[in-house]
Structures are given as C-alpha cells and as structure tokens.
Amino acid sequence: MQLDMSPYLRQNFVMPSEAAPHDACWISWPSREDLWGRRLSQVRREHELVARTISRFEAVFVVCRPEHAAEVLHRCGPDVQVWCAPIDDSWMRDSGPTFVVGDRGGLAVANWGFNAWGEKYRPFAADAALKRTMAEALGLPLVTTRLVTEGGALLSDGQGTILTTESCLLNPNRNPGLTRSEVEQELLAVLGAQRVVWLPGDSGEVETDGHVDCLASIVAPGRVLVEDPSTAVGRRREVLEENRRALRLARDARGRSFEIIDLPAAPRIDAADERHQPSYVNFYIANGAVIMPGHGIPADDEARAVVAAAFPDREVIQLQLRALPYGGGNIHCITQQQPSRLAGLLPLVSHRQG
C-alpha cells in the first residue's frame, strides 16, 4: 500500500498524554534467554496475562519473532493479534515507537536512536531498527532526531510538558558530547513541547540508569503520582526524596506547580539481585482502565486504592507479576500505546497472523 505522506508532513506533531484515547497497545514477546534464564517461561506467562488483560479494553498487538508466532497466538488467544518482526528484547516501551500526533490528524513515529540502555546488552540491532520497521509497515513517517533515548525515559502531559531524568538522558552512554541545553531543545522539537522538567533520576539503577517511568506517572496535567519516600528504605528513600524535591520546585509548560499524589514505595523484594525493579507507578493507562503491578504484599491494597482514587473514571486492575521486575521493569516498560488518530488509514489488519 502506497500512502501519500504530504498530509502528514504539513502539520505540527506532539506527544499526547498516555490517558488520551488509544487505537492499540503494542507488546513485545520475551526472547532474550540470557536476561531471563530460568524465569523465561514465567515471564512469558506474565506477558500473556498483561496482553489478555489489556485486550479487554483496546486492541493489542504482540510483536514476536516468526518462530514464536504460533505459541503467542495459542497462548494469548483470539483477542490478541500477532505481528512478526525481528526483535532482540521485550521492552516495547523503549525499543518500540514513541507515537506523536499531528494537529491535522496525522500520526508519526519519533525515531530515537536506541543502544540498549548504553550498550548493556548485545545484540541490539533488531531493536534499534524496530521503530523504522513498524513505521514503514504502518505507513507512518519518521520524525528524525539525533538523540539516543528510550520511551521509558519520557512522560508527557499532552499540554507541552515533558518529564525526564538527568541520570538517563544526560548519561554519557546515551548522548556523549551533547549539552543539557542541546538535549532539551531536541526533545522540545521532536515532541512538540514547550518545557522539559528535569528530575534527578537514579544514577545507581543498573538497567535503565533511572527511567522516569519507575519514579512517576502523570495522572493529568499538573497532577503526578510518585512513590512516597517516607515508605521507602535505604538508597531508594534518598532517590525518591531527591526526585520529589525537584518536582515540587518545578513548573509545567503552563506555569502550574505540580500536585503530588503519594503511592507507597514498592519494596525491594529480592535485595540480592540489583536488577530487580519493583514499582507501583509503572502501570499502563488503557482505554477505561489502569493495569498496575502488584507484588504479593500488604502494601498492594493501599497502592491500588491510591491509583483508583487518582483515576475514578477507570477500572483499576492489579496483576501479580513476580518475574517481570527481575528484568528491570514492569507493565509500563513492556507496553506502548498507539494514540487514536486516523485509525482507518493504518493498515493494521494486513499484519495479522493466522
């Protein structure tokens, strides 16, 4: 199918809020055996659970290697569609598209450079090419950028404000030679924003160097959910205090201070594994629902109640995912929303398997 790209290119693109309506959710199937080891089977069951749950609220596409297509189709069921492509890893938030929408109804993909979180894992060439692979198949233009980053490093309020972290985007393993000002200007241009709010992040976090999506989530413009430092211990408490302080001092693109909504801090359940990254704030906002992590502890109920109060118009579903945090992330990290724009133009049906 040949599409005329000119209507897309004659408009301004912005990164919408995650709470805006979606056409679909994209998930990658776990493939990196050296990451998951003996937990690979369990983490695939957890990806299946996430995919099936989100499919109750919006279309779900699972991207997998061709050799895994039959397994994914069998396990995830008829409400989840399979989309085959070369992939190295299963963190769709980071290697997959960051979709931006146009003021005339178009949709495009921000083509960030991807280097596996500072070349922590190899190979990563297939994941580095995934945004282009998907954009070409969907008939969407790429917004060119020189920045190396990941979707988990970026949150948008849909009104011109981007939240990110210094520990990730200013890390020499991502963008050596670029100043803070240069990184900021690139973010503003690609995402159609007016202000970047810089949080310190977490320079000691070993997988992502402190993605913002394990520290905060934007509920609505001016309202942000964060984990409460007073409920954390050790280094995590210090990290949360620093980020909370920065958020309190910041203003959004419209000059508003942020209302901070406190969640209990998720505990480090396995202190012996430094990759283990539990979180309550790393949830997925679906059409009419919030799909959030649980950890099988009493604090789960309190965390769910806080999220439910923050999203009174959405059903809150808490999933107990024991293996996923061992990869360094959770539900938000394995998902990527496709905003609702020009749904009838996107040739999604042609990429269904089976």
Residues annotated as catalytic (active site), given as ranges: 333
- CA dihedral angle for residue 26, residue 27, residue 31, residue 32, rounded to 10 degrees: 100
Report the distance separating Cα 268 and Cα 224, nearest Å: 23
Give the bridge partners for 223, in sequence order: 220, 259
Closest CA to 106 of 187, 12, 16: 12
C-alpha of 11 from chain center: 25
- Residue 205, classified by CB atoms within 10 Å of its CB into exposed (0-12), middle (13-18) or buried (19+), is buried
Residue 102 near residue 108, CB atoms below 8 Å: yes
**Do residues 207 and 329 make contact, with C-beta atoms less than 8 angstroms apart?**
yes
Q: Report the alpha-carbon distance of residue 337 to residue 21 in Å, rounded.
A: 9
Nearest residue to 199 (alpha-carbon basis) of 144, 260, 255: 260
Sheet holding 80-84, edge to edge: 80-84, 59-64, 22-28, 335-339
Q: Evaluate whether 86 touches 72 at the Cβ level (below 8 Å).
A: no
How far from 197 is each of 190, 248, 251, 252, 257, CA to CA, in Å?
A: 16, 11, 8, 7, 11
Task: List CB contacts of 298: < 8 A, sequence separation 6 or more.
Answer: none
**Sheet hosting strand 223-227, strand order edge to edge:** 216-220, 223-227, 259-263
